[in-house]
Structure 1
Amino acid sequence: MLAMNKIKVLGIASVAIAATVVITSCKDKRSTGWEYAPNMYEHIAYDPDQANPNFKDGKTAQTPPAGTIPIGFVTFDYPNTKDGYEKAGTEVTSPLPQTEANMADGKVLFEHFCSPCHGMNGQGDGLVVQHGYPAPPSYSSGVSSRGGNMKDLTDGKIYHTITYGVNAMGSYASQLAPEERWKVIMYVHHLQKQ
């Protein structure tokens, strides 16, 4: 008799569990159930592209105040002109010390960003030249399109060229941070002596 009661109780419990599963699964299909931390899904902050009633113009993404610059931004106050190039050539010098570490960093950066055109030794024989593109002048014996020998280019002229680009070379300002540009320049001076 006791065994029959146990079987009866187990049967009733099984039917109750099965009925509960069926009833809850047929509920609203859009419900994902309980949320552990709803504020992770329904944040109160505005997205940059959303309307925002907290500002007069109704935009979340506001224009920065006039005259402000981003943290870490370094200005280069020489225009992208021949005069700006010449002025930078006489006034701008590298703020970095000549160290082995800076030279090694400059070599790595040069090999990654500059050697495809300028070649590993700065002779203007990079891979793109081998594919039919015009060769840039050699650092040690070439002549600059802006006048003067490449081996005589100053810190400022090279920095100006990296920042703005010239002829077929585009600007590398978005690829190389200002400190990285100075390291590349340090290595280019090494190649100019070869």
Structure 2
Amino acid sequence: MLAMNKIKILGITVITIAATVVITSCKDKRSTGWEYAPNMYEHIAYDPDQKNDNFKDGKTAQVPPAGTTPIGFVRFDYPNTHDGYELAGTEVKSPLPQTPANYADGEVLFAHFCSPCHGLTGQGDGLVVQHGFPPPPSYSKGQSSRGGAMKDLTDGKIYHTITYGLNAMGSYASQLAPDERWKVIMYVHHLQTL
């Protein structure tokens, strides 16, 4: 008798499981069931390339308004021209204080970014020159391609050159932040006296 009850219970259990599987398999496949935190994957913000009726041109990605400066960006409003170079040379001065820490940082930055061409002492004898490339002028003895002695270059002229590049030297604006450029300039002024 006890064995028959066990078989009966086992049979009912198997039939119940089979019925559940059949019923749930026939369910509408488009429904995903309950949603937990749908805002995690269905955002209400517009994608940058999505059409947006909130703007006259219908684009989501908008150009910043004229005259605005992004957070953390430092403006350098001197054009990449000879006149911009000369104007920067007369108007632009270093905003950083002359401290031993800034000077030491400038020396390290110069060694990493500038010495491959300019050499560790700024004489234009870096590793790149030793491999056959034309040497840049010496900071203490050379003449600038824009006129005048390299030892007389001002903060603004050096900053302009680091920002935009000159001749074979490319721009270092993406490698050196504005404050790092000023630290390099502090060290270059030291090299101009050697």
Q: Please say which of residues 113-122 and 97-106 is displaced more in the overlay.
A: 113-122
Q: Please say which of residues 22-31 and 110-119 is displaced more in the overlay.
A: 22-31
Q: Residue by residue, what CA displacement relative to the aligned partner does 1:165-187 show, whole Å, maximum 9, x if unpaired?
A: 11011122222222121111111
**How far apart, CA to CA, are the structure 2 residues paired with 1:44 and 1:99?**
50
The amino acid across from 1:179 in the alignment is D
Alignment of 1:146-185 (within 5 A): 146-185=146-185
Q: Residue by residue, what CA displacement relative to the aligned partner does 1:130-187 show, whole Å, maximum 9, x if unpaired?
A: 3322221122322221222222211111011111211011122222222121111111
1:87 pairs with 2:87: yes
- Return the offset for 1:51: 0.5
Q: Residue by residue, what CA displacement relative to the aligned partner does 1:31-67 show, whole Å, maximum 9, x if unpaired?
A: 7765432211111100111101222211111222222
Equivalent residue, structure 1, for 2:9: 9
The amino acid across from 2:109 in the alignment is L
Q: Please say which of residues 82-91 and 13-22 is displaced more in the overlay.
A: 13-22
Q: Please say which of residues 175-184 and 67-76 is displaced more in the overlay.
A: 67-76
- Return the offset for 1:111: 2.5
- Return the offset for 1:19: 6.8
The amino acid across from 2:64 in the alignment is P
1:38/1:124 Cα in 2 relative to 1: closer, same or farther (>3 Å)?
Answer: same
The amino acid across from 2:67 in the alignment is G
Q: Please say which of residues 94-103 and 127-136 is displaced more in the overlay.
A: 127-136
**How far apart, CA to CA, are the structure 2 residues paired with 1:85 and 1:58?**
40
- Return the offset for 1:97: 0.2
TM-score for both structures, normalised by structure 1:
0.81
Stretches of structure 1 lacking an aligned partner (at least 5 in a row): none
1:61 pairs with 2:68: no
- Return the offset for 1:98: 0.7
- Return the offset for 1:119: 2.3
Stretches of structure 2 lacking an aligned partner (at least 5 in a row): none
Equivalent residue, structure 1, for 2:135: 135
Percent of paired sites with the same residue: 86
Q: CA RMSD in A?
A: 2.8
Equivalent residue, structure 1, for 2:102: 102
Equivalent residue, structure 2, for 1:49: 49
Q: Secondary structure at the match of 1:76?
A: coil
1:153/1:22 Cα in 2 relative to 1: closer, same or farther (>3 Å)?
Answer: farther
**How far apart, CA to CA, are the structure 1 residues paired with 2:189 and 2:120?**
14
Q: Secondary structure at the match of 2:114?
A: helix
The amino acid across from 1:157 in the alignment is K
